[in-house]
Structure 1
Amino acid sequence: MAKTNPFEFIQQVRQETAKVTWPTRRETIITTIMVLIMVTLASLFFFIADQILGGVVSLLLDAGR
């Protein structure tokens, strides 16, 4: 593997960083809000599914007595 001196490495990192399209503040805020909404919806879905499955299992186990 070829070794690169630190100065060349830093130049390469700066060149690659210049190619990146950074999101605007508005895009970041909107994306963050969307992620929070999706996390909330997923947590509600799994909570409800867990409650339903827990109730079904309880019914099945109580029926065996």
Structure 2
Amino acid sequence: MAKTNPFTFIQQVRTETAKVTWPTRRETMISTIMVFVMVTFAAAFFFIADQALGYLVGLIMNVSV
């Protein structure tokens, strides 16, 4: 493995960082809001699915006794 001195490494990191296309503040806010919306939908879906399956299992367990 090639060894690089710290100064050269920092220069390479700065060069690569300059190539990155950073999102704008607006893009970041929209992405963040969309993540929260999707998390809310997923949480609601899994809550409803869990309640429904729990109810069905409860019915099955009470019928078999």
TM-score, structure 1 as length reference: 0.98
* 1:64 positional shift: 1.2
> Which residue is equivalent to 1:44?
44
Task: State the aligned residue count.
Answer: 65
Q: Which runs of 4+ in 1 moved over 6 A?
A: none
> Which residue is equivalent to 1:7?
7
* 1:23 positional shift: 0.5
Unaligned runs of 5+ in 1: none
* 1:18 positional shift: 0.2
* 1:41 positional shift: 0.2
TM-score, structure 2 as length reference: 0.98
Q: How far apart, CA to CA, are the structure 2 residues paired with 1:15 and 1:62? A: 67
Unaligned runs of 5+ in 2: none
